[in-house]
Amino acid sequence: MSDTPKISIDQLRIGLYVFLDLNWFQHPFAFSHFKIKSADQIKTIRGLGLKSVRYDPALSDSDSPPAAGGASTDATNEPSPFVRQALEAKRAMMERIRVQREAAARIENAFVNTAKTVREVEKNLFAQPQETVHQATQLVKQIADSILCAPELAIHVMGDRLGGEELYFHSLNVTMLSLMVARDLRLPPEVIGPLGMGALFHDIGRKEIPNRILMKLEPLSQAERHLYEMHCQYGIEMGQRLGFAPPILAIIREHHELFDGSGYPQKLKGEAVGLLSRIVALANHYDELCNPLNIANALTPHEALSLMFAKLRNKFDPKLLQVFIRCLGVYPPGTIVQLSNGVVGMIATVNTQKPMKPMIVIYDEGIPKDEAMMVDLERETDLNIAKAIRPAQVPTEIYNYLSPRKRVSYYFDASQPGQDKASP
């Protein structure tokens, strides 16, 4: 953008798309380039001590150069009182971002610890069945309590610094997403535990399937597919040995049954599949689309939801699919988006009550990646999401800055209300 034309400060007018060649913390605006929308913004820019600014004719309301003249300005290196006040607001915003970043680090640590616990459970399940099932039950209770008791539910996308726990992410993701749906449906407390346990252990029967089938990247033969589908039956047998209650066993049996009757093992249709199993089947399918065995086939969260709604809608309970999309938002965490002002970012956090107003990590080449700006669309009311962008379409430097995850994993903020919120 260095070849964009310059104009003097007294040529500023509403409708111009301008670039401020200042560090992010030296001006009070959320972005360093934007379209001027008000006389107040002109007044603020004039108080920054700049003699001129760059502007983009193509993004401005008129591509003809603005006329000289207009209100004069005494450009000095000292910001005006008006700007000093606006910079105070910017500093408050920076403090909120710092608090949000600390909260994200705390939540990520909680996620890693939970994934480690899931690994311990899976490792010790048959060596120490009684103690391990008790440990899993306590874990599910803790997760369920944190999800159901929070006044607002914030879903965070996790980073990649997770230390080899990847194998346990699928069952953890399915558990999280299933309990998210249960919260929205206000399911009675007595079914929450079985739902969480069923989601956590839905794939337990895969332990009996040979790795050559589980890890095969090419399509399975008919015989291999039949053997793979036996993991539901094997899972029930293992669950019975572990003393699982009937509702948990039902989820293990039915988590691949689909609403249109095209699933397995029994080709059950509609409400012949239990409600809890229908919830887990939905969460399971979504996570498999986002995190397939062959990562090259992975869909973005936005693409996965779009596919499920547009082409696979008949395979899921329509009410549950509606709830699922409402909670995650049309643009779930992990989606790369372009905002209405042209800026590119990645959705980091979604509040299930306001899914169209997520928290977004913004790409800005002038800000170090570790200090990346976070914009809360609930606060920035004149901004919205224009579209989702496939990672392959994003320039390499932006992709690396935002570091979209190879795997999409979610976790919920388990803090007490207000613990990680800065005061406005």
The rounded mean pLDDT for the chain is 87
Residues 55 and 96 in one domain: no
Residue 325 within any structural domain of the chain: yes
Q: Which two tokens stand for residue 100?
A: 């949000």
Q: Does residue 137 have a pLDDT over 70?
A: yes
User: Which of 91-105, 128-142, 168-182 has the lowest average pLDDT?
Assistant: 91-105
Q: What confidence category does residue 149 fall into, taking pLDDT thresholds of 50, 70 and 90? A: confident
Residues 40 and 180 in one domain: no
Q: Which two tokens stand for residue 275?
A: 């409600």
User: Which of 65-79, 278-292, 349-363 has the lowest average pLDDT?
Assistant: 65-79
pLDDT given for residue 318 in this prediction: 97
Domain span at residue 321? Answer: 89-412
Residues 61 and 93 in one domain: no
Residue 166 within any structural domain of the chain: yes
Q: Which two tokens stand for residue 350?
A: 């979604």
Count the neighbouring beta carbons within 10 Å of the beta carbon of residue 70: 14
Residue 245 within any structural domain of the chain: yes
User: In 264-420, which ranges are continuous DSSP H helix?
Assistant: 275-290, 301-310, 318-328, 396-402
Residues 218 and 265 in one domain: yes
pLDDT given for residue 82 in this prediction: 64
pLDDT given for residue 91 in this prediction: 78
Q: What confidence category does residue 29 fall into, taking pLDDT thresholds of 50, 70 and 90? A: confident
Counted domains in the chain: 2
pLDDT given for residue 421 in this prediction: 37
Long-range contacts of 413-418 (CB under 8 A, 24+ apart): 413/103, 413/107, 413/150, 413/153, 413/154, 413/156, 414/107, 414/110, 414/142, 414/143, 414/146, 414/147, 414/150, 415/103, 415/106, 415/107, 417/150, 417/151, 417/152
Residues 133 and 223 in one domain: yes
pLDDT given for residue 365 in this prediction: 84
Q: Does residue 377 have a pLDDT over 70?
A: yes
Which pTM value belongs to this model?
Answer: 0.80
Q: What confidence category does residue 203 fall into, taking pLDDT thresholds of 50, 70 and 90? A: very high
Residue 423 within any structural domain of the chain: no
Distance CA 148, CA 143 (A): 9
Residues 50 and 103 in one domain: no
Residue 70 within any structural domain of the chain: no
pLDDT given for residue 73 in this prediction: 45
CATH of the domain at 387: 1.10.3210.10
Residue 135 within any structural domain of the chain: yes
Residues 172 and 31 in one domain: no
- Across the range 321-343, mean pLDDT stands at 93
- pLDDT: is 92 or 243 the higher one? 243
- pLDDT: is 86 or 218 the higher one? 218
